[in-house]
Amino acid sequence: MISQLIEKIKKTNAPICVGLDPMLSYVPEHVVKKSLDAYGETLEGAADAIWQFNKEIIDHTFDLIPAVKPQIAMYEQFGIEGLTVYKKTVDYCHEKGLIVIGDAKRGDIGSTSAAYAAGHLGRVQVGSKSLSGFNVDILTVNPYLGTDGVKPFVDVCRSEDKGLFVLVKTSNPSSGEFQDRLIDGKPLYEWVAAKVEEWGAGCMDGEYSNVGAVVGATYPEMSEILRKLMPHTYFLVPGYGAQGGTAADLKHCFNQDGLGAVVNSSRGIIAAYKQEKYKNFGPEHFGEASRQAVIDMVADISSVL
């Protein structure tokens, strides 16, 4: 799977993904009103507004980007109706030729992890049929429970040619409370990085493994270390833009050939119309504002690679 992502990155010259993490407050008023007029002030109405919002952004950006990253929590908050839209979004992105990174940060042990892996990445046996659930291409995974929690996902990646991004050094301000703790002289994130390389060794897809790592843009000095510790690991890089990460902060996540990382931006793109820089587009043309934000992000990152 990672080779397919790399192929699309090369084709678009855009090492980025759009985070489809819609809050209802991001959706322009006219879109919300239309959905609520049709379905009432219900979870179904809210979910429909999210779907219409997503579709407009995808339609305006799919030809510029290799991948999207829907965050499942933004859909789960609307219950079953929201999860239906999550699946609808995944399927629509596939129709547009995009790689879909499901941001679910799952992690448990044994049969529970196996069930998560089957539901999000793999297949479940129903009588004589083998059926896929959410069917994303790559899934974010929390490694806190160790190999017991990650191995079931790796097994599905190997059998289905899917991918993982394992949390290693996250972009949030309090990540250091645990991740930076020293263990035998090394921070915890370095121990996790070593495990990611180990887990990925049996799941190679060309030069890189299908087992990748989440490495935040907000800690550039650590990403430089992690790039050296994980030479065969592709990075998913959150934290650019709204969280404070800059293009200069990203450069250590990449290799000299300009590969090795895909950078995520969520509200910086999907809510671009709310920014002063793009206000001339207005809420009625929010999709066009998102398209311009993608173009600007690609140019910004390209300037340091």
Domain boundaries, given as residue ranges, for the chain: 12-105+265-297, 123-264
**Burial class (CB within 10 angstroms; exposed 0-12, middle 13-18, buried 19+) of 185:** exposed
**Burial class (CB within 10 angstroms; exposed 0-12, middle 13-18, buried 19+) of 105:** middle
pLDDT value of position 219: 84
What is the rounded distance in angstroms from the CA atom of residue 301 to the CA atom of residue 305?
A: 7
Task: Look up 33 and say whether it is catalytic.
Answer: no
φ, ψ at 266 (rounded to 5°): -105, -90
Number of neighbours of residue 3 by Cβ within 10 angstroms: 15
DSSP 8-state code for residue 198: H
Q: Which CATH number fits domain 123-264: 3.20.20.70, 3.30.1330.40, 3.20.20.150, 3.30.365.10?
A: 3.20.20.70
pLDDT value of position 100: 98
Q: Is 212 helix (H, G, I), strand (E, B) or coil?
A: strand
DSSP-derived pairing of the beta strands 67-68 and 99-106: parallel
Please give the model's pTM, rounded to 2 decimal places.
0.95
Which of 8, 87, 105, 195 is the catalytic position? 105
The DSSP string of 234-259 is -EEE--BSTTSB-HHHHGGGS-TTS-
Hey, what CATH topology would domain 12-105+265-297 get?
TIM Barrel (3.20.20)
DSSP 8-state code for residue 26: G
pLDDT value of position 158: 94
Q: Which two tokens stand for residue 24?
A: 């209802």
Q: Which two tokens stand for residue 283?
A: 């809420």
What is the rounded distance in angstroms from the CA atom of residue 229 to the CA atom of residue 147?
A: 19
Number of neighbours of residue 30 by Cβ within 10 angstroms: 10
pLDDT by 10s per residue, the chain, length 305: 999 999 999 999 999 999 999 999 999 999 999 999 999 999 999 999 999 999 999 999 999 999 999 999 999 999 999 999 999 999 999 999 999 999 999 999 889 999 999 999 999 999 999 999 999 999 999 999 999 999 999 999 999 999 999 999 998 889 899 999 999 999 999 999 999 999 999 999 999 999 999 999 888 888 999 999 999 999 999 988 766 677 888 888 998 888 999 999 999 999 999 999 999 999 999 999 999 999 999 999 998 87
Are both 12-105+265-297 and 123-264 of the same fold?
Answer: yes
pLDDT value of position 258: 84
pLDDT value of position 243: 64
Of 51, 37, 113, 122, the closest CA to residue 83 belongs to 51
pLDDT value of position 218: 83
Name residues whose C-beta falls within 8 Å of residue 275's C-beta, 6 or more positions apart in sequence.
268, 289, 293
